Amino acid sequence: MGYRANIIYYTTSWFSLKYKEKIDLQDIWNRQSIGNEFDEDIGEMADQVSKYLTSVIDSGRNVTQWAKQASCWDELIDKYERISKS
């Protein structure tokens, strides 16, 4: 997977944003696991991030360069948070 680091960074950031009130980061660090209650969600989020980031390939954009831009993050959050609220 050529964009693994980008997918991990974006998924971790999105997960933290979405669950910031429901997770104990120190506990996750100590256990080195997010726990079974979040397994399905984080897997789904990673899949959505992967599809989102690699969707720019068809337009000739460089995924790694796109992922460095604030507008990439803003667009991802807008797109998926809007869907989850509907």
Q: Pull the structure tokens for residue 9.
A: 């960074």
Candidates 8, 76, 5; CA nearest to 42 is 8
Nearest to 52 by CA among 79, 83, 86: 79
Q: How confident is the model at residue 44 (pLDDT cuts 50, 70, 90)?
A: very high
Give the pLDDT band (50/70/90) at residue 71: very high
pLDDT the model gives residue 83: 58
Average the pLDDT over 51-73 and give the result. Answer: 92
Share of the chain above pLDDT 70, in %: 93
Distance CA 84, CA 86 (A): 6
pTM across the whole model:
0.81
